[in-house]
Amino acid sequence: MRQDFLIIGGGVVGMAVAYGLARAGQGVTVLDESDDALRASRGNAGLTWVQGKGIGMPRYAELSLDAVRGWSAFARELTERTGIDLQYEQRGGVDLCFDAEEAESRQREYDELQQASPRLAREFEWDYLSRDALLPYLPELGERIHGGTWSPHDGHCNPLYLLRALYAASRALGVEIHPSTPAQALSKADSGFCATTAKGTFTAERIVIAAGLGARTLAPTLGLSGAVAPLRGQILVTERLPALGWLPTPQLRQTASGGVLIGDTHERSGFDKGVTLAMMQAIAAKAVQICPALEATRLVRAWGALRVMTPDGNPLYEASASHPGAYNINCHSGITLASFHASALAEAILNDRLGQQYAAFSGERFHVSA
Ligand SMILES: Cc1cc2nc3c(=O)[nH]c(=O)nc-3n(C[C@H](O)[C@H](O)[C@H](O)COP(=O)(O)OP(=O)(O)OC[C@H]3O[C@@H](n4cnc5c(N)ncnc54)[C@H](O)[C@@H]3O)c2cc1C
């Protein structure tokens, strides 16, 4: 039986879209690469975050706002379907500033964002708080921190439980998932598309490439840009600690199990997803500056993972002009946007309206005319 949709990539983006399409009654097959593939979905910080999004592209901040507004219901629905608690919490978040210059530049960016979008002017809530004013949200915050921007929209979840729940919910809806089955080539077939793999050929009426960094080679074969590059982040995790009573920050957040996840590094390291001693030392020193109580804490784990970055950092939502029915989806904020990908984005794909509804996010914006 030929499926309605073939999804290439079983990360959080591909699975959110697969779940959304299956929930709408579509027949979906997902092909994923093997365990040693590059997988941002298994190495990220788990923030559901609006702050900092859409600087220079307000539409992206609006999407992020829509996504976090949908997150509670999305998490509840996945839990009801699968019994998996996503440990989602939305109590607000703080993005720290280390000096006056950073504080001024952040506030200027948010002001400009709101001037550019009447909707954000009304709906994006944030405030700059000094170090002392942050103490109720971040008890015993380091004395050398200047302050930070607080926003009630921000939150966090356990991203691995999110992924597990998307797999479980999709399977229960009949989605066929093939792990360790990388697509070697994609092509047009009779009134549909075909993925060639070492385990045989898979076909469907339409195809969604959600292969993270794999889009670089796959997407151009169907007339899509796949304009993404790796940007490494390194993360440290502490032993489990009693509750610190902190709101999450991009710099560090305490997980539901008590461990503190530390690190917001951005490194151009090619496709190397390893960790380096120098960077781990820098992350640890910064964490102690932020939260001096962590000084005597033991680290239990560290990892590196590659972000899926477009040239301007904004999502890439593409519908192929040369191969109607083929789409490419990439973003560097797939946890935050998961609720949106499973709902409005999946619906736009289903109705073949992606190109029209999300034209601002197409690969066209990267084309440079002669
Ligand atoms: C350090 C770090 C911290 C982050 N923190 C956050 C955060 O706090 N909040 C947030 O919202 N986002 C965060 N992100 C970003 C988020 O993790 C990504 O946006 C998201 O995981 C991207 O998901 P994806 O499915 O597109 O890509 P991936 O997770 O990379 O998945 C792509 C999948 O495609 C498969 N694939 C590749 N090629 C093929 C092929 N040929 N055939 C079949 N399958 C293929 C791979 O096996 C893989 O499973 C962070 C990322 C990093 C690296």
What confidence score (pLDDT) does residue 1 get?
Answer: 66
Beta pairing class for 93-97 and 127-130:
unpaired
In three-state secondary structure terms, 7 is: strand
H helices of 234-310, where?
Answer: 277-290
Angle at 61 between CA 256 and CA 69, to 5 degrees: 50
| Residue 46 CB less than 6 A away from ligand 1 | yes
Which atom of ligand 1 is nearest to 15's Cα? 25
237-282: pLDDT as tens digits: 999 999 999 999 999 999 999 999 999 899 999 999 999 999 999 9
Which atom of ligand 1 is nearest to 235's Cα? 1
CA distances from 11 to 98, 181, 294, 318 (A): 34, 13, 32, 18
How far away, in angstroms, is 41 Cα from ligand 1 center?
4
Q: Which of 255, 275, 257 is nearest to 265 (CA)?
A: 275
How far away, in angstroms, is 266 Cα from ligand 1 center?
15
Measured CA to CA, the distance from residue 80 to residue 287 in angstroms comes to 36
Measured CA to CA, the distance from residue 349 to residue 346 in angstroms comes to 5
Measured CA to CA, the distance from residue 238 to residue 252 in angstroms comes to 11
221-238: pLDDT as tens digits: 999 999 999 999 999 999
What confidence score (pLDDT) does residue 36 get?
Answer: 75
| Residue 232 CB less than 6 A away from ligand 1 | no
Angle at 244 between CA 240 and CA 246, to 5 degrees: 120
| Residue 233 CB less than 6 A away from ligand 1 | yes
For residue 369, is pLDDT > 60?
no
| Residue 31 CB less than 6 A away from ligand 1 | yes
83-120: pLDDT as tens digits: 999 999 999 999 999 999 999 999 999 999 999 999 99
How far away, in angstroms, is 295 Cα from ligand 1 center?
31
What confidence score (pLDDT) does residue 35 get?
Answer: 75
199-222: pLDDT as tens digits: 999 999 999 999 999 999 999 999
For residue 38, is pLDDT > 60?
yes
Query: How confident is the prediction for the chain on average, in pLDDT?
Result: 96
Burial class (CB in 10 A: 0-12, 13-18, 19+), 267: middle
Measured CA to CA, the distance from residue 227 to residue 312 in angstroms comes to 10
Q: What proportion of the chain, given as a percentage, has pLDDT over 90? A: 96
Residue type, 216: R
Copy the structure tokens of residue 249.
Answer: 């920050």
Measured CA to CA, the distance from residue 254 to residue 91 in angstroms comes to 13
What confidence score (pLDDT) does residue 34 get?
Answer: 81
Which atom of ligand 1 is nearest to 195's Cα? 42
What confidence score (pLDDT) does residue 165 get?
Answer: 98
N residues, the chain = 370
What confidence score (pLDDT) does residue 370 get?
Answer: 36
Domains of the chain: 3-45+160-227+313-366 (3.50.50.60), 93-152 (no CATH), 229-309 (3.30.9.10)
The residue whose CA has the least distance to atom 47 of ligand 1 is 33
